[in-house]
């Protein structure tokens, strides 16, 4: 372990680490897979958080509304982006059950290939994709090279490739090589979970700024979409108060709450809500969801 001053995340070392990791839930969760409460608790908490901040996603009519209202209600197409998606665990258990169209971005090809297999099997939220009521696009890229506003155009010096488009061809997919029309096609949610330790502070600030620019807006230009950062946090006192721990195994950093808040401020984001994940095994880092706009 070393301080961030000594070491920054190295993209290739991170990709190498994950390429040598099993393409399974157990693999992407560092051994805390289906034999543990982690995947279910994580997904259930995320879905509840998302429904509470974007209640219009709910397909259930609240009891105080008449059924007349429900039949008249027009449900528009909702879009989400799964960042550092791995094998698509978050898409399958959190995003696809709620959103119509999901983009996944992930730099490890083997993981995306597994996501395609999972989609073909129709397991969990992939069911809607297999049945053709939903659609998903898989992008091969590191977040430092990915621009949610125009995914086919990589950030200078990098690569961003469309690996697969799955599911309904009836759902209009915005052209990835031109800037999104935010009112029509902006993301309702950009979900960033358990991956941004692979970005330096500078890369992370830039990525959050690009993400903010790709969120849905209303017709008056008011931002309606949200970003959720769900990540491990270490203690503020870690590394002599720097609040950052470097992990040599996968070449990533774990940041403290204070460090995250500074980064969000630098990216010009407003913290709307902060939720601590409950129920995880005690030996793990604390996990926090930050809801940002
Ligand atoms: N978010 C997923 C995967 C977690 S594992 C989930 O919660 O299930 C961490 C993921 O981060 C791996 O898939 C790894 O390949 C990815 N990753 C590594 N470097 C990255 C980078 N620079 N940009 C985006 N993702 C990265």
pLDDT of residue 3: 47
State which residues of the chain have pLDDT below 50.
Answer: 1-4, 71
The finding on whether 143 has its CB within 6 A of some atom of ligand 1 is yes
pLDDT of residue 172: 82
Tokens at 199, concatenated: 């970005």
Cα three-residue angle 165-208-20, rounded to 5 degrees? 55
Tokens at 117, concatenated: 């297999």
The finding on whether 228 has its CB within 6 A of some atom of ligand 1 is no
- Supply the DSSP string of 45-98, one letter for each residue: HHHHHHHHH-GGG--SPPTTS-HHHHHH------EEEEET-TTTHHIIIIITTT
Pocket test for ligand 1, best of 16, 21, 107, 163 (most atoms within 8 A of CB): 107
DSSP annotation of 194 reads: S
pLDDT tens per residue across span 151-204: 999 999 999 999 999 998 778 889 999 999 999 999 999 999 999 999 999 999
The finding on whether 9 has its CB within 6 A of some atom of ligand 1 is no
Residue with tokens 């990540």: 231
pLDDT of residue 89: 98
Distances (CA, A) of 280 to 79, 162, 234: 29, 35, 15
pLDDT of residue 91: 98
């Amino acid at each position: 372990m070393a301080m961030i001053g000594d070491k920054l995340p190295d993209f290739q070392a991170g990709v190498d680490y994950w390429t040598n990791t099993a393409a399974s839930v157990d693999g992407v969760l560092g051994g805390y897979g289906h034999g543990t409460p982690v995947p279910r608790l994580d997904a259930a908490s995320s879905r509840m958080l998302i429904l509470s901040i974007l209640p219009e996603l709910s397909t259930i009519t609240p009891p105080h509304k008449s059924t007349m209202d429900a039949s008249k209600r027009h449900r528009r197409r909702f879009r989400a982006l799964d960042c550092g998606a791995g094998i698509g665990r978050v898409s399958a258990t959190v995003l696809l059950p709620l959103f119509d169209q999901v983009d996944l971005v992930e730099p490890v090809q083997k993981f995306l290939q597994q996501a395609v297999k999972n989609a073909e099997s129709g397991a969990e939220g992939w069911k809607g994709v297999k049945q053709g009521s939903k659609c998903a696009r898989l992008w091969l890229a590191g977040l430092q090279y990915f621009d949610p506003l125009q995914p086919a155009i990589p950030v200078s010096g990098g690569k961003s490739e469309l690996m697969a488009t799955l599911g309904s061809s009836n759902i209009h997919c915005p052209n990835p090589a031109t800037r999104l029309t935010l009112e029509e096609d902006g993301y309702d949610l950009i979900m960033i979970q358990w991956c941004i330790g692979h970005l330096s502070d500078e890369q992370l600030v830039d990525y959050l700024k690009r993400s903010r620019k790709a969120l849905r807006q209303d017709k008056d230009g008011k931002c309606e979409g949200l970003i959720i950062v769900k990540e491990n946090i270490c203690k503020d006192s870690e590394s002599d108060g720097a609040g950052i721990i470097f992990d040599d195994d996968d070449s990533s950093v774990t940041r403290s709450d204070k460090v995250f808040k500074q980064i969000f401020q630098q990216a010009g984001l407003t913290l709307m809500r902060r939720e601590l994940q409950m129920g995880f095994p005690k030996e793990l880092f604390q996990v926090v969801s930050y809801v940002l706009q």
